Structure 1
Amino acid sequence: MRKKRILFVINPVSGGKKKTAFNKQVLEVLDLNRFDPTFKITNHANHAHELAISAIEEQYDAVVAVGGDGTINEIGTALAGTDMPLGIVPEGSGNGLAYYLGIPMNESAALRRINRFDTMAIDCGRIGERCFFNIAGIGFDASVSDRFASETVRGPIGYLRTVLNVISGYKPKKYKLKIDGKEYEREAFMISVANSPQYGNNAYIAPNASINDGLLDVCVVHKFPLYTLPMMIFHLFNKTADQSEYVEIIPGKQICIEQEGKAPVHLDGEPMDLGQRVEITVEQQALNIIC
């Protein structure tokens, strides 16, 4: 039987973790009787996407993202709509999609999942040519992602520091939304469009979201008094955000968000300038995941 060729795309800076011993670990854990691994390291923005496109052209059997949600996003965007599956070895600051899929945070355990080579198809959100598989957002979380992208301290500690720096001066903004034809106007702290329930680290913004229901959950976090922040955090980590009086969740398939002024939007934690008007659709069973 021909061995399956797997390309491991390694983000060397994700999660603030060194990955110098990763190749050796793969050779120890991966079933080399069935799989033939190749390793490539990213060295610039969107490099993971470019490597995944090349993997399709070179007829690999799978691409494995060794990184966080941003690395998964770049590779997944390339693989969406193809038969080639995406594997995940979680190495990011949040690892939202991996947590939701139950992929182990331990490298060896994640590699043993790849040995099984079981796959499932998941939905994705699409904004123009870009996809997201976990959560897209506008407002506070996008401002945090934008600031965090330029921080030198990575990992959960660096992210928490960025959150605290941004929240001290952040002001809610006004938005116009159109969800499956129905129009809304909201003043919001942030708006998250969720394909999966959580940002990462088990912080659930949309507890009932599903990656294979053909819907996206639009989570509008309204303006809230700062003294209620501990309770908001409690809701996030207890899967009860939908029970907060300051959170409104509207499911939909066709979503348009218009913001006042210019501010970043994030896709799976990666900030980008998409203009004042953002059109979002859902594509069902767009990406095969090794889980």
Structure 2
Amino acid sequence: MRKSNILFIINPISGGKDKMKIPALIDTYLDRSRFIGNYRITEYAGHAAEIVEETLSLDFDIIVAVGGDGTINEVGAKVLEQKKVLGIIPFGSGNGLARFLKIPMDPRKALEVINQCHITHIDTATFNEKVYFNMAGMGFDAHVSAVFAGNKKRGLSGYLKLGLKEMLSYKPDTYTILVDGKSYTRKAFVVSVANSSQYGNNAHISPLASVSDGLLDVCVIKNFPLYRIPVLAFYMLTAKTHHSGMVEIIKGKDIHISRPTAAAIHIDGEPFMMGKEIDISIKPLSLRVIVPLLS
């Protein structure tokens, strides 16, 4: 039986976690009867995508992103383009897509999933032509992501501290949202367009979302007084956000969002600046991903 060529792309800084033991884990636990394993370590932002481009001629069958949602996005966009198979070893702050796909947080167990090599197809989406797999959006979360990008203290605790600080001065915007031809005008704290159900850390913004239904979930977090933050957190952490009056969820395929000014957006947790007009669309079952074989 022909062995599959597999490349692990390791982001050494995602999530503020040490990944220097990952090469040894690969050497020890990768099933060498099925795979020829290699790995590369990224050195700067954008390097993961460059590595995938560089290795195009080497005929890798599977490319594994070792990092968080941002690393998965960078690697996955090229995997999608090249029609390869994506593997995931979660090592970020939130690991939203990996958690949704039931990929273990323990790297050794995640390697066991790679060894099983059970492949499924998932939807992908574009946000003004930028590909994403888990979550993209605008508003407060995008603003915090942009500020957090310059913060040297990575990880969940640093993000939460910064978020609480920024919340005191943040002013919601009014958005015009067109979903499959129907228009909605909403003053919102956050507008997230979800492919999977959660941001990460099991904080679910759209608990009924699916990565294989051909639909995106436009999640509007309404303007709310600060004292209700614990209520919103409760709904998210118990995956009951769809029962909350603080969140409106609109499902659709073709989405256009207009906002008052150009501002920060986030794509799979990574911040970008984008203009006032944003087009979002879905590409059903367009990416092959290795996921656990669940009984």
TM-score (normalised: structure 2): 0.96
Counterpart in the other structure of 2:260: 260
Using the TM superposition, give the Cα deviation of residue 128 of structure 1 relative to its aligned residue in structure 2, in angstroms.
Answer: 3.7
Q: Distance in 1 between matches of 2:233 and 2:124?
A: 27
SS in structure 1 of the partner of residue 93 of structure 2: coil
Q: Distance in 1 between matches of 2:186 and 2:203?
A: 23
Q: Distance in 1 between matches of 2:130 and 2:53?
A: 14
Counterpart in the other structure of 2:8: 8
Letter in 1 for 2:84: M
Q: Distance in 2 between matches of 1:127 and 1:181?
A: 17
SS in structure 2 of the partner of residue 93 of structure 1: coil
- Of the structure 1 ranges 29-38 and 215-224, higher mean CA displacement relative to structure 2 is found in 29-38
Distance 1:129 1:45, change over 3 A: farther
Q: What aligned pairs does 1:1-291 form with structure 2 within 5 A after superposition?
A: 1-80=1-80, 82-291=82-291
Q: Is residue 55–residue 63 contact of structure 1 (8 Å, CA) maintained in 2?
A: no
Using the TM superposition, give the Cα deviation of residue 150 of structure 1 relative to its aligned residue in structure 2, in angstroms.
Answer: 1.2
Deviations 1:8-59 (A, max 9, x none): 1010100111111210111111011221111111122221122223333421
Q: Distance in 2 between matches of 1:120 and 1:57?
A: 25
Using the TM superposition, give the Cα deviation of residue 165 of structure 1 relative to its aligned residue in structure 2, in angstroms.
Answer: 2.0
Deviations 1:130-163 (A, max 9, x none): 2111000100110111111111111111221221
Q: Is residue 212–residue 285 contact of structure 1 (8 Å, CA) maintained in 2?
A: yes
Aligned length: 291
Q: Is residue 197–residue 205 contact of structure 1 (8 Å, CA) maintained in 2?
A: yes
Q: Is residue 53–residue 79 contact of structure 1 (8 Å, CA) maintained in 2?
A: no
Q: Is residue 82–residue 287 contact of structure 1 (8 Å, CA) maintained in 2?
A: no
Q: Structure 1 regions of 5+ residues with no counterpart?
A: none
Q: Is residue 127–residue 136 contact of structure 2 (8 Å, CA) maintained in 1?
A: no
Q: Structure 2 regions of 5+ residues with no counterpart?
A: none
Deviations 1:58-116 (A, max 9, x none): 21011000000000001111122543110000000000000011100001000010000
Q: Is residue 139–residue 191 contact of structure 1 (8 Å, CA) maintained in 2?
A: yes
TM-score (normalised: structure 1): 0.97
Q: Is residue 262–residue 274 contact of structure 2 (8 Å, CA) maintained in 1?
A: no
- Of the structure 1 ranges 79-88 and 134-143, higher mean CA displacement relative to structure 2 is found in 79-88
Taking only aligned residues, the RMSD between alpha carbons, in angstroms, comes to 1.1
Deviations 1:203-235 (A, max 9, x none): 000011000000000001110111111101100
Q: Distance in 1 between matches of 2:180 and 2:195?
A: 16
Q: Is residue 215–residue 253 contact of structure 2 (8 Å, CA) maintained in 1?
A: yes
Q: Distance in 1 between matches of 2:129 and 2:185?
A: 27
Using the TM superposition, give the Cα deviation of residue 236 of structure 1 relative to its aligned residue in structure 2, in angstroms.
Answer: 0.5
Q: Percent identity?
A: 47
SS in structure 2 of the partner of residue 214 of structure 1: coil
Letter in 1 for 2:290: I
